[in-house]
Amino acid sequence: MKRITTLAAFSLLSLALCNVNADENTVKQAFAKSMPDVKIDAITPSPISGIYEVAVGANIFYVSDNGKYLLQGRLVDIQTRTDLTEEKLSSTRLAALDKIGQKNMIVFTPKIKKYTVSIFTDIDCGYCRKLHSEIDQYLAEGITIQYLFFPRAGKGSESYNKAVSVWCADDRNAALTAAKKDQKITSKTCDNPVDAHMQLGEDFGVKGTPMIVTEKGNIYPGYLPAKQLVEALDAEKKPQ
């Protein structure tokens, strides 16, 4: 009797797992049919029964298990007041940054490394220039700055062309500093990651620059002085 009960339970579990896979395939098929250009990175059950969480690049969508309905927005646990979507977005942002790779960023490194932030910057943005004018203060606090370009005027603009020229310069760090001081730099073109930076910024929902992304994948829109940024980074490391 015990053996029969165990086999029955195992059969029910197998059936449940088959249904999960079937639902995931249904979601995949729905995307393939309606949005064939969308590359799905992961499909996982959400905390809501009948709803799947779909990761696409640095974005999270919620899709019904029949593949018919898609929700875009924030999923919040009312009881704990936790933004569940933000928790997942943090990890997808980090994965997207890793995909770009530090070799495709302009990096300012302190002598003693304590923290790392990635910053979307526009060469002609006033607060971006203010932040960079204080680069020594950030480095003194042990903050590694990884710059990605986000010329807000768009592709082909003067700011965009400056970004390409900075990337193609013999000394990118020096060229970026000069450009942010409004000094003339040599116009150059070459293979560059500027378009990839801009697309990533769009995926991250950049509305203005600078936009700071921390090692935890959290976002701080706008300029933060070095001391204030360190306080925020320290707070991230404390147990919640």
Same domain, 117 and 39: no
Same domain, 191 and 148: yes
Q: The domain spanning residue 160 has which CATH number?
A: 3.40.30.10
Q: In the chain, pLDDT over 70 holds for what percent of residues? A: 90
Same domain, 47 and 123: no
Dist CA 192 CA 65 (whole Å): 40
Same domain, 119 and 213: yes
Catalytically annotated residue among 23, 65, 93, 122 = 122
Assign 3-class secondary structure to 105-130.
CEEECCCCCCEEEEEEECCCCHHHHH
| Six token digits for residue 102 | 């530090």
pLDDT band at 239 (very low <50, low <70, confident <90, very high): low
Same domain, 81 and 125: no
95 located within any domain: no
Annotation marks residue 128 as catalytic: yes
Annotation marks residue 3 as catalytic: no
Same domain, 75 and 129: no
Q: In the chain, pLDDT over 90 holds for what percent of residues? A: 59
Give the pairing of strands 51-56 and 106-108. unpaired
Catalytically annotated residue among 93, 128, 129, 168 = 128
Annotation marks residue 152 as catalytic: yes
Catalytically annotated residue among 23, 93, 124, 152 = 152
Q: The domain spanning residue 62 has which CATH number?
A: 3.10.450.70
Which pLDDT score, from 0 to 100, does residue 126 have? 96
Which pLDDT score, from 0 to 100, does residue 232 have? 95
**The total number of structural domains that make up the chain:** 2
The mean pLDDT of 137-144, rounded to a whole number, is 98
Catalytically annotated residue among 23, 65, 93, 125 = 125
Which pLDDT score, from 0 to 100, does residue 193 have? 98
pLDDT > 60? residue 1: no
Domain of 133 in residue numbering reads as 100-234
Could you tell me the pTM of the whole model? 0.78
Which pLDDT score, from 0 to 100, does residue 17 have? 35
Same domain, 116 and 210: yes
Query: pLDDT tens, 154-182?
Result: 999 999 999 999 999 999 999 999 999 99
213: which strand partners? Answer: 118, 219
49 located within any domain: yes
pLDDT band at 19 (very low <50, low <70, confident <90, very high): very low
Annotation marks residue 190 as catalytic: no
Same domain, 109 and 209: yes
Same domain, 217 and 152: yes
Q: Mark which of 60, 87, 114 sits at the end of a domain.
A: 87
92 located within any domain: no
